[in-house]
Amino acid sequence: MAEKKKSTTKKTESKKETKHEAPAKQEAAQKAAPSGVSTTKTQEKARIGVFICHCGTNIAGSMDINAVQDYAKTIPNVAYVDNYKYMCSMPGQAVINKAIKDNKLTGVVVAACSPRLHEPTFRTATKEGGLNQFRFEMANIREQNSWVHMHDQEGSTEKAKDAIRIAVAKAGLLQDLFPKAVPVEHAAMVVGAGVAGMQAALDLANAGIKTYLIESQPTIGGRMSQLDKTFPTLDCSQCILTPKMVDVGRAANIELMTYSEVDAVEGYIGNFDVTVRKKARGVLTPAEAEARGIVGGGCNGCGDCEPVCPVVKPNEFEVGMKPRKAIYISHPQVVPLIYTIDWNSCIKCGLCVTACGPEKKAIDLEAKDELVKVKVGTAILATGYDMFPVEKKTEWGYKKYENVISSLEFERLICASGPTSGHLVRPSDGETPKRVAFVLCAGSRDNTGNGKPYCSRFCCMYSLKHAHQIYEKIPGVQAYLFYMDIRSFGKMYEEFYYRIQDEGAKFIRGRVANILEDPVTKNLHVHTDDTLLNRPVDMEVDLVVLAAAVQPKEDTNRTRKLFGVSCSMDGWLLEAHPKLNPCGTTTAGVFLAGVCQGPKDIPDTVASAEGAASAASIPIHKGEVELEPYFATCIEERCAGCGMCINLCPYSALALVEKDGRQVMQVTEAKCKGCGTCGGFCPGGAIWMNHFATPQIVAQIDAFLLGGEQ
């Protein structure tokens, strides 16, 4: 170990030399620092304060705080030990402040909860006490101790002692570090233009921020534009959504990129370089046409091309219940009103080109994907959801029996602009159904392994709405709702539930066991157990609507890898903290809005979008962000210039440069994210990772295993 300590002294000296960008004030501090930092001296001079938190009884209830405190006093370099009921409270922080000043501490250890929770709090307290905020180390004795060893007081106490000893060992070797401030690009990106993405983009644009709105489909609007009415107010979905779509299309600050996908993301908060793939639409917008010198040309949405197209395909927007052509718009209210060619079905006959005419020249059958690079400060993911493929639940016969339909098909059938102009009909014979069964939790709350374990949160409410809609449209109809529990938790939702009960809908509590078809009449028999009356049910109905679960988008994995976002066990994108940071992610500058994070109804989706927009605008309005200074640094006298580290770096932050006639590695700090992959490999030990330096980690290992005495 002695050898290691010596080398550390060298490292700090070399650090002093390699510092170049720090502002004058910081540089002065930096130069002053090494004398107190260099390891050998620190070992003699380090004066560490240890502060033990009871966290009420959260910690104190599981371990012997007095024993831990008595032990902490015996650890080498510990100059002061104290405990307090709530270390994070104002008086608790004052204890730290005062102790730093009174005892001339050089480092602070707080034994409390997880550093992922309160590290910022105590760093601030350390700074207020007059120390550099990075001379702080946390010992986690709650999440990873008292809460997980609740009935093992002895084991818990011993573990806390070790944790404090390990933290003190590191605290003795910590250095002054200074966060690096970087400017933030005055632009944002929103991925996905459903109601969440549109709301977020509008908010950002209204706040004066240039916003790139990326949508993979040819039109914005998302799932909400497919719905007929919204619960519980019964607003027409299109009527409240289309004004927003038009606003998005018009907003000067929004650059709308439909039929586009994110191809690559580089950089970090404040400076993301995003490559967007504009998929070949085959139809030019007026702006694109003008760029090609066709003045007054481009698609004006006249639709002359559509009737002449000989290819007929099912329209995905209408869940396949209405035809479209190979050149199409999915519905009349699309934004932007530009036709799109479906290359998978286009036969390139050229009839549409002729129909479009020589003035507009809007159609280009040879169009190619285009890559566009944009620079943004922050990004919001609002990628939405997919419907659960409810045919997986074979017992309900979806896609086997014609008269079993999904809730989304119901929405289109009951919608005035849908394939039947709003007439609900049985797919088998076109007759109006008189008895309709709604099967709730179709794939949700399902632990069989075939469905989804979570509650999809809005199926109860839309099924109530569906029941209302058939009562409104079909005289003499009877609705049956087969449910497990009715979850009507929102504002005015419970009242809506009572209203549907009053309208005559019958509620049968029981999970549907199976559905069988009468082969002659094509009527359906719904079998379940009525768990309230405790008797089996065999209900004959004309139509069954399955309230299908929702699931994460198919390409969620691709999206999250692009932006470095995790996902939870059920596949939805993971927020930074489920309660206190529901819009943020673990990647600084990337935020979540809407259902991509987990099932939400429209009010919650819009609220989360506004939250994400607000969060994403903060760094942009602030103008700069501070990056944690966990950069790699090269200790040049040890660097052999082998270049092994350069290929290891995932961010291309390292390069070999010529210095004093030999090759040494150099770090571009703005690119370095501090993972330490280079430092974990360097065969010469020539890479110093700020705050996670080799001597610091080795000291922790030694402190644990050799009891602090070396």
Partner 1 sequence: MSAPPESPAPKGEEGEWKPKILGVLCNWCSYAGADLAGGGRIQYPPDVRVVRVMCTGRIDALFVLKAFADGADGVLVSGCHFGDCHYLEGNYKGAKRMFMVKRLMKSIGLDDRRFRMTFVSASEGAKWGAVITDVVKTIKELGPSPIKEFSK
Which residues bind to partner 1, rule: CB under 8 A?
114-117, 140, 142-145, 147-152, 155-156, 158-159, 162-163, 166, 557, 561, 564, 566-569, 574, 586-587, 630, 648, 650-651, 673-677, 679-681, 689, 692, 694, 697-698, 700-702, 704-706
Supply 44's token pair.
């003699």
* Residue 187, CA distances (Å) to 278, 319, 624, 687 in order: 19, 36, 13, 35
Checking DSSP bridges between strand 260-268 and strand 271-278, what pairing results, if any?
Answer: antiparallel
Q: Which is nearer to partner 1, 528 or 700 (CB)?
A: 700
Distance CA 174, CA 474 (A): 75
Helix (H, G, I), strand (E, B) or coil at 77: coil
Q: Which is nearer to partner 1, 141 or 376 (CB)?
A: 141
Q: Give min distance, CB of 698 to partner 1, in A.
A: 6
Q: Give min distance, CB of 360 to partner 1, in A.
A: 46
Q: Name the percent of the chain in helix, strand, coil, to the closest 5.
A: 35, 25, 40
Type and span of the H or E element at 647: helix 644-648
Q: Give min distance, CB of 149 to partner 1, in A.
A: 4
Q: Give min distance, CB of 560 to partner 1, in A.
A: 8
Residues with Cβ within 8 Å of residue 243, at least 6 apart in sequence: none
Supply 293's token pair.
């010198």
Q: Which is nearer to partner 1, 449 or 683 (CB)?
A: 683
Distance CA 531, CA 536 (A): 9
Q: Give min distance, CB of 32 to partner 1, in A.
A: 27
R_g of the chain, CA atoms, integer Å: 32
Distance CA 698, CA 16 (A): 23
Helix (H, G, I), strand (E, B) or coil at 459: helix
Q: Give min distance, CB of 673 to partner 1, in A.
A: 6
- Show the CA angle centred on residue 662, arms to residues 657 and 664, nearest 5°: 40
Q: Which is nearer to partner 1, 48 or 512 (CB)?
A: 48
What is the rounded (10 degree) CA torsion for 105, 111, 117, 123? 0
Q: Which is nearer to partner 1, 182 or 648 (CB)?
A: 648
Q: Show the DSSP H helices in 271-417 as ranges.
A: 286-291, 305-308, 351-360, 407-414
Q: Which is nearer to partner 1, 239 or 701 (CB)?
A: 701
Q: Pick the closest to residue 39 from 20, 69, 13, 21 (CA basis).
A: 13
Q: Which residue has the tokens 């794939």?
A: 443
DSSP 443: S
Q: Give min distance, CB of 702 to partner 1, in A.
A: 6
Q: Which is nearer to partner 1, 333 or 677 (CB)?
A: 677
Q: Which is nearer to partner 1, 63 or 99 (CB)?
A: 63
Distance CA 217, CA 291 (A): 23
Q: Give min distance, CB of 148 to partner 1, in A.
A: 5
Q: Which is nearer to partner 1, 241 or 265 (CB)?
A: 265
Whether the upstream peptide bond of residue 183 has omega within 30° of 0, thus cis, is no
Q: Which is nearer to partner 1, 441 or 635 (CB)?
A: 635
Distance CA 624, CA 35 (A): 31
Q: Give min distance, CB of 380 to partner 1, in A.
A: 19
* Residue 40, CA distances (Å) to 46, 377, 584 in order: 10, 43, 42
Q: Give min distance, CB of 176 to partner 1, in A.
A: 19
Residues with Cβ within 8 Å of residue 89, at least 6 apart in sequence: none
Q: Give min distance, CB of 580 to partner 1, in A.
A: 13
Q: Which is nearer to partner 1, 18 or 144 (CB)?
A: 144
Length of the chain, please? Answer: 710
Q: Give min distance, CB of 417 to partner 1, in A.
A: 41
DSSP 497-550: HHHHHHHT-EEEES-EEEEEE-TTT--EEEEEEETTTTEEEEEEESEEEEEE-E
Q: Give min distance, CB of 81 to partner 1, in A.
A: 20
Distance CA 383, CA 226 (A): 16
Q: Which is nearer to partner 1, 148 or 532 (CB)?
A: 148
Q: Which is nearer to partner 1, 159 or 600 (CB)?
A: 159
Distance CA 105, CA 131 (A): 8
What are the backbone angles phi and psi of residue 672, rounded to the nearest 5°? -75, 130
Supply 16's token pair.
């002093």
